[in-house]
Amino acid sequence: MLVAGNWKMFKGPADAASFCEDLRGRELPADVDVVVCPPFVSLATAVQLLADTEIAVASQNVHWADDGAYTGEISAGMLRELGVYGAIVGHSERRQYFGETDETVARRVRAALGAGLFVIACVGESEEERETGETELVLRVQTEAIGEAASDATNLVLAYEPVWAIGTGKTATPELAQKAHAFVKSLLDVPVLYGGSVKPENATELLAQPDIDGALIGGASLDIDSFVAICRAGAG
């Protein structure tokens, strides 16, 4: 079971330090892998404060080039040098607001895995796509693009995040989430996390589904008590 907290554009270095100091003092389940994903400016702080713990630090994005004229981007090598363990790739907000495509997601996945980073690659349909019956088509196209980019999927997990449930307070029912996870796993045999308004109140039921291997948490990961509660909900 893997639980990752995506802080999005929250928690600069001072807030990140306070959170990480608190988190390292909490009792977390031994059978749950815990990851925090701060914004770029807070990665070094998180890496330093969590260095002697089992809690991993991942970035929220990574570029496909080793270096070059890519203003505002960060390479996998830079993240590795900082001590970062992994990266989220293809989050729905990157696709929606910053022009991320299946092709660029695949290039980022390939580069990150090639550099030795652990990758959480995101897939998911919009509300319009679900209402028009295109969910499985969208998931197939997105998942197959990622699978083709990952020659070795050892360090790859997927995150199914129905776009209509990101930051909206809406959550897929456990049955709906389970069905989507089973479908994604039929396309690519890797662990699949659920992301989409996961909260302490619904985490236990969601994480109990047979094909849900953990959670990618957004807003609920910003509060230490909420995040720890979800981590504990994932314990076997």
Q: Mean pLDDT throughout 88-101?
A: 95
For residue 38, give the nearest of 99, 85, 92 by alpha carbon: 85
> Which residues on neighbouring strands pair with residue 120, listed in sequence order?
88, 157
| Strand-strand pairing, 192-194 and 56-59 | unpaired
Residues 6 or more apart whose CB falls under 8 angstroms from that of 136 comprise 183
DSSP line for the chain:
-EEEEE--S---HHHHHHHHHHHHTS---TTSEEEEE--GGGHHHHHHHTTTSS-EEEES--BSSSSSS-TT--BHHHHHHHT--EEEES-HHHHHHS---HHHHHHHHHHHHHTT-EEEEEE---HHHHHTT-HHHHHHHHHHHHHHH-S--TTEEEEE--GGGSSSS----HHHHHHHHHHHHHHS-S-EEE-SS--HHHHHHHHTSTT--EEEESGGGSSHHHHHHHHHHT--
Tokens 């028009």 -> residue:
132
Per-residue pLDDT reduced to its tens digit, 154-188: 999 999 998 877 666 677 789 999 999 999 999 99
Percentage of the chain surpassing pLDDT 90? 88
Query: What's 2-233's CATH class?
Result: alpha beta
pLDDT of 71 reads: 98
| Average pLDDT for 45-66 | 97
Q: Per-residue pLDDT averaged across 97-123, rounded?
A: 97
Active site residues: 91, 161
Tokens representing 79?
Answer: 């993240």
pTM of the model: 0.95
pLDDT score recorded for residue 151: 84
- Look at 162 and 4; give whichever has higher pLDDT: 4
pLDDT digits (tens, 9 = 90+) for 128-152: 888 898 899 999 999 999 999 998 8
- Say what the pLDDT of residue 99 is: 94
Domain boundaries along the sequence of the chain? 2-233
Q: Assess contact for 59 and 37: CB atoms under 8 A.
A: yes
pLDDT given for residue 167 in this prediction: 65
Q: What mean pLDDT, rounded, does the chain reach?
A: 95
CB atoms within 10 A of CB 167: 13
Q: How far apart are the first and last CA of the chain?
A: 8
| pLDDT on residue 168 | 67
Residue range 35-48: average pLDDT? 98
pLDDT of 236 > 90? The answer is: no
